[in-house]
Amino acid sequence: MDPQLVSRSASAPWLSIVGFGEDGLAGLGAAGLRAIAAAAVVFGAKRHLALLPERLDGQCEHQCREPWPQPFDVAFERVLALRGTPVCVLASGDPMWFGAGAKLAERLQPGEYRVLPAVSSASLAAARLGWPLHEVRVLRPVAPERLIGLARVRLHLADGVRLIVLSADQETPGLLAALLRGDGYGASRLAVFERLGGPAERRIDATADTWAEQGIDPLNLIAVHCRALDRSAGAPTWARRCALPDDAFTHDGQLTKRDVRAVTLSRLAPRPGELLWDVGAGCGSIGIEWMRADDGCRAIAIERDAKRRDMIGQNAAALGVPDLRIVAGRAPVALAGLPAPNAVFIGGGLTAPSVAERCWAALRPGGRLVANAVTLQSEAALVALRAQIGGELTRVQVARAEALGRFDGWHQAMPVTVLVAVKLRA
């Protein structure tokens, strides 16, 4: 172990990150009170600082209290500039749960800080509702992108599911109710909690169908018990880790069909935190399903056609992954400057010069390249690419039963050739 690290860990931390609730000092333990009193500088939201008395027992002389600056990155710089000075940061509830504590910890060495958490708002809401917190999905739409954040809710909608949405502002409950109504979940029960844990706590109960604006406090949280209407009324529930039906996507025919998509995704093998390039994305089905497969999966859809880019954006929002990044342009030029991927899918542009080679060069070690071909020309390009980089070729052909006069017969779809190659070294 690094002896310097041991030395730092053994010394007293200069930064205390204290969870602070709407009940103010009454909710703090002795350690939290001491941390605030001993700090030369105390950072906190204005509402938190307003709950502190002018002076605490044992308070540091000439203590400075600073409202948490915006944007957050500036705030972190201000805190880190005081390294070595006793500093206390007040953060709502549990600082490591969607809070400033996690961001500060990323920037510090162990031993430089300590975290004294309070009860999180999600824990308080679950306690009020009698919900097992480990069975609840907690989501956070971030202002000013709350519409994008709310679209993420769609990824988790299913009959009976319980969600807690950490609201961005006073408009979030109404926007969420409208989204639920539009997606066929108007019967879902909402419980909006304002200023949880403090003397001004208030609870408002309604369904998404009956929700009416009523002067909501900006500091609120929304608990949702999902209730779907009849499936025919438009509330589809789709599995996250299986290929979606083709009609889940708006498309113009440029779509990797469901059965081939399932094979393709199994070869791409999405893993949490990994990045996919979806080259020649069409309507975005591969990138969207990649992101739906696991939390933290990221994707970039590269598409030259403007109408198809619009469809990608619509499909991504409708299917709960609005963070899909869309890049305009034709590969390989449009690939310049993009972060290195863990996986690449080439659905279009195989016959264009150097597209596959550029993708392979950008791929991280251990990454997967998957390319599909339908035409003879693109299949020939796959065979030539395999000779360069290795890999496995598979031909997939699907037949569906269709009417044939008074009977049924098999209708053969065009075969698709799939190349899978794993990059073993840089």
Q: Rounded to whole angstroms, what are the CA distances from 152 to 137, 156, 218, 293?
A: 12, 8, 20, 13
- Predicted local confidence at residue 5, as pLDDT: 36
Q: What architecture (CATH level 2) is domain 123-233?
A: 2-Layer Sandwich (3.30)
Q: Where are any strands of DSSP class E within 4-143?
A: 15-20, 41-44, 64-67, 87-92, 113-116, 137-139
Query: 242 vs 362, which has greater pLDDT?
Result: 362
User: Quick one: CA dihedral 175, 95, 275, 237, positive or negative?
Assistant: negative
146 — pLDDT class (breaks 50, 70, 90): confident
- Alpha-carbon distance 188 to 267, whole Å? 37
In this model, does residue 313 exceed pLDDT 90?
yes
d(CA 38, CA 155): 45
With a cut of 80, say whether residue 7 has pLDDT above it.
no
Question: Using CA atoms, how far apart are residues 313 and 401, in angstroms rounded to an integer?
Answer: 33
Q: pLDDT of 166-218, one tens digit each?
A: 999 999 999 999 999 999 999 999 999 999 999 999 999 999 999 998 899 99
Sheet holding 41-44, edge to edge: 64-67, 41-44, 87-92, 15-20, 113-116
Three-state secondary structure call for residue 344: strand
Ranges in the chain annotated CATH 3.30.950.10: 123-233
For residue 256, is pLDDT > 90?
A: yes
Residue 242 pLDDT level (bands cut at 50, 70, 90): confident
Q: Phi and psi of 4, rounded to 5°?
A: -65, -40
Can you say how many angstroms the Cα of residue 144 is from the centroid of all Cα atoms in its chain?
A: 16
Q: What pLDDT is stored for residue 383 in this prediction?
A: 95
Residue 394, beta-bridge partner list: 418
pLDDT of 236 reads 61
Measured distance CA(300)–CA(243) in Å, rounded:
19
152 in Cβ contact with 321 (< 8 Å): yes
CA-to-CA dists, residue 410 to 115, 401, 404, angstroms: 64, 5, 9
Q: Assign 9 a pLDDT band (cuts: 50, 70, 90).
A: very low
What confidence score (pLDDT) does residue 11 get? 67
> In a 3-state reduction of DSSP, which class is residue 101?
helix
Three state DSSP letters for 62-97: CCEEEECCCCHHHHHHHHHCCCCCCEEEEEECCCCC
Q: Which residues neighbour 145 within 8 Å (Cβ) at sequence distance 6 or greater? A: none
2 vs 370: which has the higher pLDDT: 370
User: Distance between CA 167 and CA 116 in Å, rounded?
Assistant: 24
Which is it for strands 64-67 and 41-44: parallel, antiparallel or unpaired? parallel
Q: Report the top-level CATH class of 246-422.
A: alpha beta
Would you tell me how many other CB atoms lie within 10 Å of the CB of residue 194?
Answer: 21
- Mean pLDDT calculated for residue range 88-97: 93
In the chain, % of residues over pLDDT 70: 95
Question: What are 213-241's pLDDT values in tens digits?
Answer: 889 999 999 999 999 876 545 456 778 88
Confidence of residue 71 (pLDDT cuts 50, 70, 90): confident
- Choice among 67-81, 94-108, 155-169, 256-270 with the minimum mean pLDDT: 67-81
% of the chain exceeding 90 in pLDDT: 80
pLDDT in tens, 322-360: 999 999 999 999 999 999 999 999 998 888 889 999 999
According to the model, what pLDDT value does residue 79 have?
93
Task: Give the model's confidence band at 414: pLDDT under 50 very low, under 70 low, under 90 confident, else very high.
Answer: very high
Collect all residues with Cβ–Cβ distance below 8 Å to 27 and sequence separation of at least 6.
20, 21, 118, 119, 197
Helices (H) and strands (E) in the chain, counts: 13, 19
User: What's the whole-number average pLDDT of the chain?
Assistant: 91
Task: Say whether domain 3-119 belongs to CATH 3.40.1010.10.
Answer: yes
DSSP 3-state helix, strand, coil percentages of the chain (rounded to 5)?
Answer: 35, 25, 45
Q: Can you give the pTM of this predicted structure?
A: 0.86
> What per-residue confidence (pLDDT) applies to 191?
98
Q: What's the one-letter identity of residue 56?
A: L
Q: Pinpoint the residues of the chain covered by CATH 3.40.50.150.
A: 246-422
Please report how many Cα atoms fall inside a 13 Å half-sphere around the Cα of residue 177, on the Cβ side: 19
Domain with CATH 3.40.1010.10 in the chain: 3-119
Count how many residues are written for the chain: 426
Q: Tell me what pLDDT residue 75 has.
A: 85
